[in-house]
Amino acid sequence: MEWNGLIVFLGTGDLKENAGFYEGILGLKLYKDQGVCRIYEVPGGGCLGFCTHLGVTQKDRAPIITILTDDVDLCYERLLDAGCEIAEAPRENAKFKIYHFFAKDPDGYTVEIQKFL
């Protein structure tokens, strides 16, 4: 069996507001607009899909949407300038050997911006 890709679908309450975050602020490319679902291509592989017919499901920080980048600080500044909810400034996590920070998307999902050290 050969796999052709991956899409993780999550619920959203507002596709327009969601697009403003994932397309407008994070700069992800729209892969497919299905009307009630918008699917975004994630550079490096895979896709994220957000659908209005799925419930927004979260508890505490789960699930975590982690997006990898070499420029964590630039992304932090972009999200900060856009008024996004950010728990704390980027920091190194010695246990996992990463540099990262956490933000919230419009639906309250935890978005981690990270690079491996």
Q: Is position 1 within any domain?
A: no
- The CATH number of the domain holding residue 78 is 3.10.180.10
Tell me the C-alpha distance between 44 and 61, whole Å.
Answer: 24
Closest CA to 87 of 103, 76, 105, 100: 103
Q: Is position 2 within any domain?
A: no
Q: Is position 48 within any domain?
A: yes
Give the total number of structural domains in the chain: 1
Q: Is the peptide bond before 63 cis (omega within 30 degrees of 0)?
A: yes
Instruction: Output the pTM of the full model.
Output: 0.90
Q: Is position 32 within any domain?
A: yes
Tens of pLDDT along the chain (117 residues) come to 887 889 999 999 999 999 999 999 999 999 999 999 999 999 999 999 999 999 999 888 889 999 999 999 999 999 999 999 998 999 999 999 999 999 999 999 999 999 999
At residue 3, the pLDDT reads: 76
Bridge partners, 32 (sequence order): 39
DSSP state, residue 24: I
59's CB contacts (< 8 A; 6+ apart) are none
Exposed/middle/buried for 20, CB within 10 Å: 0-12, 13-18, 19+? middle
Enclosing domain of residue 80: 7-116
At residue 2, the pLDDT reads: 83
Tell me the C-alpha distance between 78 and 23, whole Å.
Answer: 13
Q: Is position 51 within any domain?
A: yes
Q: Is position 104 within any domain?
A: yes
